[in-house]
Structure 1
């Protein structure tokens, strides 16, 4: 899938639930919220007309009022017949188990592009099943069961950045399903893939971080001035979402052929083909927990070569996962 197609899908998947929460909105305002142009968003909505539930009959497809968006219309975006996209998918334990079995069968013959998607979905299903406490498994694409984006919040943190004031964020991290409070030095609001982010220096992490604004539960502007060195916000369109601190360690992975798509999806420092057909790759790791999850998804086709503390960490994570199956 090309970058343009990925961005379009991201905008559409963001747009439909957002409209269900906020109601009707003018095309110009929707485009500004999604970080695109009204012309591009209109093209996206014409694609949305051809999407919907299996079957493809008129009642299965999403309805978009294009007449309102043409010359002479009021310019307000109105969609219908898309309620199912406004809520995450809930599966019973039986349905989740059936999906795990089916995905493992798909995985056996998956190509490199499909393998990452299958592994990511399997990891979510199996992690939810391992909890064993909920009657249903919740799937929402990327763990983004977030609150509606408050337009005033973006304006508030942008103003704090302009005035050099610290902000206390109450922030939800989906990968850990954890809400935490962080004090940050804001640098500015930036956009990528249909989402708005606060680029800031995080005092808890002692490193620059990106905070998705629709995961911010609260943002309190403090009287204290920022104390980190003034830096302009990142250009995510040019740099992407992967930014690393100079203090972040470099980790070496050994990848079997089935996992050699990793350098295509993640920024790596070096790639070294080995005589046995494997690859060694060096990548900068800002969060060891992210590395553990990646290696678990790639198992048994990847292992950590070094440094030793990361080898021990990934081995311990694998042992804990096996213990849950036992």
Structure 2
């Protein structure tokens, strides 16, 4: 499996994300994308991100969300990723079912992280969001001066994430998958950018 992934020439982030979801195959000695034994996606497992900030938050969100989607569809996470990585093989109805399952899975992941207390307060994400946003310099300075208590009272991380997930164009994302290894990388990138945009837009309203 490691040889094939290396041959794809994926960036380090994509490898880390795919490793998080498909790592069970290595644990069971799987030499292909069909492991001898697959973990039950309906069983809660510990998922730790390998990054910090918004990137780490969305990495964990995607990993849990894919598990939730696979559970909802009654398949293993590996089988789901394989199927989603095969463009042109599914009907519109099948794609709609998968899109609904992915969106519901990501939303369920937000709720689980909120219940676990692992969602960071919005104030911890502000600086990173502003670093990535293209804002007027004076507006950026004014936003950075807002006290954390005000930011956290006005912005709830779970609300930002749920709104982001609701607005994601998952159909376009799935249509552009080149292979199964792209799923987590593209989901993580899309969610990260959407979170940054959402935070920046809503922070403007506080000034």
- Sort the TM-score into its range (normalised by shorter chain): under 0.3
Normalised by the length of structure 1, the TM-score is: 0.17
Normalised by the length of structure 2, the TM-score is: 0.24
Bigger-Rg structure (1/2): 1
More helix by share: 2
